[in-house]
Amino acid sequence: MSTSDKLQDLISRCEGAVYISVNEHRNCYDSVEQHLANMPTKTDDINPDVREKMIQLDTVVEVQFYPLTPVGFHVVYHHDLDAALDEALACLGK
C-alpha cells in the first residue's frame, strides 16, 4: 500500500482529525532528545531502536489521530512516515 493510500485509509477511519508533523523540533533548534522530552504527550513508550534511529537521523515523524471522538486521540512517533502510518493503522485494527 502506498503512503498516500495509507494516509487516506487512516483519514477515512477517523471520526476526528489526523495531523502529521515532520521535524517540528528543527523550528526551535532542539535536538530530537530535547523535543521528545518536552512533548506534552507520553514518549517513553517509543521502541528504543526507533528512538535511536530518530536521534541518528535527526528526524521526528509525529502522527496524531482522533479515531472515535474529537477528544480522545493516539500519537505515533517514528523516523519513517510509512512506518508511522503502519503503526497508526495497527492501532485501529483491521
- Positive/negative CA dihedral, 75, 73, 63, 28: negative
Domain boundaries, the chain: 3-92
Tens digit of pLDDT for each residue in 40-71? 877 888 999 999 999 999 999 999 999 988 78
CA angle 42/43/44 to nearest 5° reads: 105
Q: Is the pTM of this model over 0.95?
A: no
Average predicted confidence (pLDDT) for the chain: 93
> Would the pLDDT of 12 be above 80?
yes
Q: What is the percent of the chain with per-residue pLDDT over 70, rounded to a whole number?
A: 99
